[in-house]
C-alpha cells in the first residue's frame, strides 16, 4: 500500500512533513521546549450513522484514573480543555470496490487551560499536536484499537491498516469530497522528523502522521491566561476506511491512540482530496493573514508509515501525486525515506559526478571514493571501491566518471605528484562491480607521463567508439623554474591505459597566443574531436574563446570553419555539449548559450539566456541556474511544460549535478548535501518526470 504526500515549505522554516500528502510549513513565532502531555484515546462509535458518537479521554498511566469527559487530560496540572463542536459521517462509491469509502470528521474547540477549565495556562502553547502512536494495546502495530463490528465482535484486524487519516471533509454533490479550509489539521512527518519529536514512554512508537491545534486567527499559538469560556483553538480529526462488501463487516466502533505534545514544528498537510492549487490558496488564506511567510517551496513525499516501527513497515498513499512533466517522482525509494530521495550517507570527499550503469544503478564519485545506488534507490553496500589516485597524488580533484559498454567504470582527474610537485592527470578503471581493473595500465591506474616540470589540469574525458580515451584541459609549461605560458592540451590513451603514441602524448594549441586554455571536448560521429578553448593575444590583450577541431589522428582540422577555429566570444567556463547531428552548443562571454553547426558555422538565430552550466540530453538542452532547471529544444525554444524545476530538500537549495536518463525514461539527478542530521555529508539523488 503505497501513497504519496506533498509538503509546502515556508520561506523561513527548514523542515516539513513526510509521506504522500502535500504539506506546508509555516514558521513558528516562539520556539518552545518539546514535551509530551499524555496519551489520548479518541473513540468513534456508531460510525455508520450520519452523526457518530465521538469521545476523547486521556488513558491513565501508573495507576492514575482516566478522564471520560470530552477534554484533553490534565498533565502535571497543565492540561488542555476541549469541547466537541461537530461530527459527521458520509459514504461514497461502491461497497467492496476501491471507490467505496466512509469518511468521518470530528471537530473540537480548544482552550489553553487545565482539563477541567479551572486553571488557565500561564504560558503560550505552540503547535499542540496529536501524533499517532502504536501502543501495546493497538492492532497490527497501528494506532487503531478496540475495532468492533455492530454485534460487538472483533472486526477484521486487517482493517486497522486501512483506517487512514485525512483532513476534515464535506460531501459536495458535484465535486464529491471537498476539504474544508477551516478543518484541515491533518499533518504527516518524515522518519527523520519523528526523531526530533519529544521522547515517548516505553512501549510506544510514533507513526508518521497526526493532527495539530490551530488558533482561529490562523496562527498555531494558544495565548496564555485565556478568560473563562475563551476557546482560542480548534482541531479537526478525520479518517476514512473502505466499505466492506457485506455491511455487517464494516467497523462500528474503534479508537485511535495519540500522544499529545508541544513541538517546534509548524506545518500543514494537503490531503489527496484537494489539488495543489486549491490547497496552496487555502494555506495562503489561513496563514498568510496571520503574519506568517507565504509558503514558497513544495516537497513531495510518497509514503506515510501507518504501522510498525521502521520505514519498511506498512505505508499508505495519502495524496494524489503530481506526475506531470517537470515534477519530482516522489515514489522512488519511498520504502526507505518516503520522500522520493535516495541518500548515500557519510560520504568522504567532495561529490563530483555520477553516471548510470546499464542495470539502472547510479555510480557516484567523490575525490576519494566511489558509491553506488541500486535502481530502487537503496545504497549498494557491497560496492566499496576506493580511488588509488590519492595514494599516488595529493590534492586530487576528480573531474568526470564514465561507464563503458560493459559497465566498467572510468574515473579521471588531476593531482599533485608528491615527489616533484607537478600536477598530472590520472585515469582509473574499475570493473562493473567496483573491483580495480588491473589490466588497465598494469594496476588499474594510469598516470599520464608528462614533463616533470609541467602542471596539467584536466577538464574533460570522453571515450571513442574504439574504446580509446580522450582527455582535455590546460598545461602550464616551465623553463627551469619559470612559467612560460598556459596552453590547452588534448591527449589520448589506448583502451588498456597505455599512451596512444600515434595520436601523440599531448597536443598544444597556441596559434600565436600568449596564453591559452583548454576546456571540454566532444567527439563527433565522424570521430573528429571538437574542443572549447580560450586564447589570449597581445598587443590588444584580447581574450578569444573559440572552438578547435582535430581529426582522428590528432591533426588540426583546418576545414573546420576554414582554419580549424570557430567563434571568438565563448565564455571561459568552457561548457561544451553536442547534439546527435554533431552540432554543438557553448556559452559566450556574457554566459548566453550559442549554437554552432557540425562544420563550425554559427546559428545566429539561436540564443538561450545566460547560465554557468547546462547539459544536452536526448537533443534537449537543460539549463541550470542555481537550484533551477529549465528545458529548451535543440532550436533554443523554452519548454513551458517542463517549467522551472527547483532542486531543494529540507529547505536547502541544491545545485544539480549531471542528469542521467533511467531505464524507465525519467531524469535522475544527484547532488551533494552537507550536515544532514544523523547522515552527515551525503550524495542525494532524485528523479524528475521528463
With vertex at residue 287, the alpha carbon angle to CA 213 and CA 19, rounded to the nearest 5 degrees, is 65
Mean pLDDT of 271-288: 61
**pLDDT tens track for 446-491:** 998 666 678 889 999 999 999 999 999 888 876 666 666 788 888 9
Task: Give residue 289's pLDDT.
Answer: 46
Secondary structure E strands in 223-378: 233-242, 253-262, 267-270, 297-301, 304-305, 315-316, 341-344, 351-356, 362-366, 370-373
Task: Give residue 571's pLDDT.
Answer: 44
What pTM, to 2 d.p., does this model score?
A: 0.64
Cell of 589: 562571454
Task: Give residue 10's pLDDT.
Answer: 26
Cβ within 8 Å of residue 389, ≥6 positions away = 396, 411, 413, 415, 426, 428, 445
**pLDDT tens track for 360-369:** 999 999 999 9
Omega within 30 of 0 (cis) for the link into 530: no
Burial of 592 (0-12, 13-18, 19+ CB in 10 A): middle
Question: Is 38:260 a contact under the CB 8 Å cutoff?
Answer: yes
The least confident of 9-18, 354-363, 547-556, 624-633 is 9-18
**pLDDT tens track for 120-169:** 888 888 888 899 999 999 999 999 999 999 999 999 999 999 998 888 87
With vertex at residue 260, the alpha carbon angle to CA 45 and CA 129, rounded to the nearest 5 degrees, is 100
Does residue 9 lie in a domain region?
no
Task: Give residue 70's pLDDT.
Answer: 37
pLDDT at 271 over 70: no
pLDDT at 541 over 90: no
Mean pLDDT of 603-632: 92
Please name the residue ranges forming H helices in 307-383: none
Q: How confident is the model at residue 20 (pLDDT cuts 50, 70, 90)?
A: very low
- The residue segments making up the domain with residue 127 are 35-60+76-266
Mean pLDDT of 505-510: 56
**pLDDT tens track for 407-442:** 999 999 999 988 888 899 999 999 999 999 999 999
Task: Give residue 99's pLDDT.
Answer: 87
* Residue of 349, 448, 365 lying closest to 403 (CA atoms): 365
pLDDT at 301 over 80: no
Higher pLDDT, 388 or 12: 388
| CA neighbours closer than 13 Å in the CB half-sphere of residue 659 | 24
Task: Give residue 334's pLDDT.
Answer: 54
The rounded distance, in Å, linking the Cα atoms of 234 and 152 is 32
The rounded distance, in Å, linking the Cα atoms of 449 and 585 is 32
Does residue 311 lie in a domain region?
no
Cell of 562: 576554414
Does residue 625 lie in a domain region?
no
Q: How confident is the model at residue 383 (pLDDT cuts 50, 70, 90)?
A: very high
The rounded distance, in Å, linking the Cα atoms of 371 and 348 is 10
Instruction: Share the mean pLDDT of the chain.
Output: 80
* Residue of 527, 406, 427, 408 lying closest to 473 (CA atoms): 427
Mean pLDDT of 294-315: 54
Task: Give residue 32's pLDDT.
Answer: 40
Does residue 205 lie in a domain region?
yes
Question: Is 221:30 a contact under the CB 8 Å cutoff?
Answer: yes
- End-to-end, the C-alpha distance of the chain in Å comes to 25
Cell of 211: 493532527
Does residue 111 lie in a domain region?
yes
Does residue 306 lie in a domain region?
no
Does residue 666 lie in a domain region?
no
Cβ within 8 Å of residue 539, ≥6 positions away = none
**pLDDT tens track for 648-687:** 876 678 889 999 999 989 999 999 988 666 678 889 999 9
Burial of 171 (0-12, 13-18, 19+ CB in 10 A): middle
561 φ, ψ (degrees, to nearest 5): 55, 35
Mean pLDDT of 339-368: 92
Query: How many structural domains is the chain composed of?
Result: 1
Task: Give residue 262's pLDDT.
Answer: 82
The rounded distance, in Å, linking the Cα atoms of 686 and 455 is 37
Task: Give residue 51's pLDDT.
Answer: 93
Does residue 65 lie in a domain region?
no
**pLDDT tens track for 34-43:** 567 788 899 9
Amino acid at each position: 500500500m503505497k501513497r504519496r504526500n506533498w509538503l509546502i515549505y515556508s520561506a523561513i522554516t527548514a523542515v516539513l512533513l513526510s509521506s504522500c500528502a502535500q504539506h506546508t510549513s509555516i514558521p513558528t513565532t516562539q520556539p518552545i521546549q518539546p514535551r509530551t502531555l499524555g496519551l489520548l484515546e479518541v473513540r468513534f462509535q456508531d460510525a455508520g450513522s450520519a452523526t457518530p458518537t465521538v469521545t476523547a479521554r486521556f488513558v491513565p498511566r501508573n495507576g492514575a484514573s482516566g478522564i471520560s469527559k470530552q477534554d484533553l487530560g490534565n498533565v502535571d496540572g497543565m492540561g488542555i480543555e476541549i469541547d466537541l463542536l461537530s461530527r459527521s459521517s458520509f459514504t461514497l462509491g461502491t461497497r467492496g470496490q476501491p471507490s467505496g469509502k466512509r469518511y468521518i470528521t470530528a471537530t473540537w474547540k480548544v482552550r489553553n487551560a487545565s482539563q477541567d477549565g479551572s486553571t488557565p495556562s500561564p504560558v503560550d502553547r505552540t503547535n499542540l499536536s496529536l501524533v499517532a502512536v502504536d501502543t501495546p494495546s493497538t492492532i497490527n502495530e497501528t494506532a487503531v484499537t478496540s475495532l468492533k463490528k455492530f454485534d460487538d465482535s472483533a472486526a477484521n484486524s486487517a482493517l486497522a491498516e486501512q483506517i487512514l487519516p485525512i483532513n476534515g471533509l464535506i460531501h459536495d454533490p458535484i465535486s464529491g469530497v471537498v476539504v474544508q479550509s477551516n478543518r484541515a489539521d491533518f499533518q504527516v512527518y518524515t522518519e527523520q522528523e519523528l526523531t526530533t519529536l519529544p521522547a515517548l514512554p516505553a512501549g510506544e512508537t510514533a507513526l508518521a502522521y497526526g493532527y495539530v491545534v490551530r488558533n482561529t486567527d490562523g496562527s498555531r499559538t494558544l495565548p496564555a491566561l485565556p478568560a473563562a469560556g475563551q476557546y482560542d483553538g480548534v482541531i479537526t480529526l478525520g479518517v476514512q476506511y473502505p466499505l466492506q462488501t457485506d455491511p455487517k463487516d464494516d467497523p462500528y466502533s474503534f479508537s485511535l491512540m495519540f500522544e499529545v505534545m508541544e513541538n517546534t514544528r509548524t506545518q500543514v498537510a494537503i490531503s489527496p482530496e484537494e489539488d495543489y492549487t486549491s490547497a496552496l490558496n487555502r494555506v495562503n488564506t489561513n496563514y498568510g493573514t496571520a503574519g506568517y511567510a507565504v509558503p514558497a517551496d513544495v516537497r513531495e513525499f510518497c509514503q506515510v508509515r501507518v504501522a510498525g516501527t521502521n520505514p519498511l513497515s506498512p505505508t499508505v498513499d495519502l495524496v494524489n501525486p503530481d506526475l506531470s512533466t517537470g515534477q519530482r517522482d516522489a515514489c522512488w525509494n519511498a520504502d526507505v525515506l518516503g520522500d522520493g530521495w535516495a541518500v548515500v550517507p557519510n560520504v568522504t570527499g567532495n561529490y563530483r559526478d555520477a553516471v548510470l550503469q546499464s542495470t539502472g544503478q547510479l555510480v557516484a564519485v567523490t575525490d576519494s571514493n566511489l558509491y553506488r545506488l541500486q535502481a530502487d534507490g537503496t545504497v549498494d553496500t557491497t560496492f566499496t571501491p576506493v580511488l588509488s589516485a590519492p595514494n599516488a597524488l595529493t590534492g586530487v580533484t576528480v573531474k568526470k566518471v564514465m561507464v563503458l559498454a560493459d559497465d566498467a567504470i572510468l574515473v579521471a582527474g588531476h593531482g599533485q605528484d608528491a615527489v616533484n610537485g607537478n600536477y598530472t592527470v590520472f585515469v582509473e578503471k574499475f570493473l562493473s562491480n567496483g573491483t580495480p581493473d588491473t589490466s588497465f595500465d598494469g594496476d588499474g591506474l594510469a598516470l599520464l607521463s608528462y614533463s616533470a616540470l609541467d602542471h596539467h589540469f584536466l577538464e574533460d574525458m570522453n571515450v571513442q567508439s574504439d574504446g580509446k580515451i580522450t582527455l582535455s584541459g590546460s598545461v602550464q609549461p616551465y623553463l627551469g623554474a619559470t612559467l612560460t605560458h598556459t596552453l590547452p592540451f588534448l591527449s589520448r590513451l589506448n583502451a588498456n591505459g597505455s599512451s596512444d603514441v600515434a595520436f601523440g602524448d599531448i597536443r598544444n594549441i597556441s596559434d600565436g597566443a600568449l596564453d591559452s586554455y583548454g576546456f571540454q571536448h566532444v567527439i563527433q560521429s565522424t570521430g573528429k574531436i571538437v574542443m572549447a578553448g580560450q586564447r589570449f593575444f597581445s598587443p590588444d590583450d584580447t581574450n578569444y574563446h573559440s572552438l578547435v577541431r582535430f581529426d582522428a589522428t590528432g591533426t588540426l582540422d583546418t576545414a573546420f570553419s576554414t582554419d580549424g577555429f570557430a567563434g571568438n566570444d565563448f565564455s571561459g567556463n568552457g561548457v561544451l555539449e553536442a547534439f546527435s547531428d554533431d552540432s554543438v552548443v557553448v556559452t559566450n562571454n556574457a554566459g548566453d548559450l550559442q549554437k554552432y553547426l557540425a562544420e563550425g558555422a554559427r546559428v545566429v538565430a539561436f540564443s538561450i539566456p545566460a547560465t554557468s552550466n547546462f547539459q544536452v540530453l536526448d537533443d534537449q538542452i537543460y539549463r541550470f541556474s542555481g537550484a533551477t532547471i529549465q528545458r529548451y529544444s535543440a532550436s533554443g525554444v523554452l519548454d513551458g511544460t517542463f517549467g522551472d524545476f527547483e532542486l531543494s530538500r529540507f529547505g536547502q537549495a541544491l545545485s544539480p549535478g549531471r542528469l542521467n536518463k533511467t531505464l524507465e525514461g525519467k531524469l535522475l539527478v544527484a547532488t551533494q548535501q552537507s550536515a544532514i542530521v544523523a547522515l552527515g555529508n551525503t550524495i542525494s539523488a532524485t528523479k524528475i518526470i521528463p
